[in-house]
Amino acid sequence: MTNTPIPAPKAFFKSKTVVANLVVAIGGVVAIFHPGTQAWIASHADGVLMGVGMLNMLLRSVTHGKIALVDDTSADGL
């Protein structure tokens, strides 16, 4: 086993996965107020859900490390 240092967690807003999920959530909010978007999402729910799931799996496979609610980059490294 090698002693590889554990990278410090990054701030949640720097996470590609969190940003992608935020875009999906904003799409849901838009659908509430725009009937055309709501109808499209409802009629394509299987494709939308598969796409979001695949996007999350892809982003999770290419991202590394943990995320934190605050960016804790203290000078002592703890």
At residue 51, the pLDDT reads: 92
CA dist., res. 25 & res. 38, Å (int): 13
37 vs 1: which has the higher pLDDT: 37
Give the pair of three-digit tokens for residue 35: 């009937």
pLDDT tens figures, 2-14: 677 777 777 777 7
At residue 73, the pLDDT reads: 57
pTM: 0.64
Place of tokens 């999350």: 56
The single-letter DSSP state of residue 8 is P
**Other beta carbons within 10 Å of 13:** 11
Whether pLDDT at 74 is above 90: no
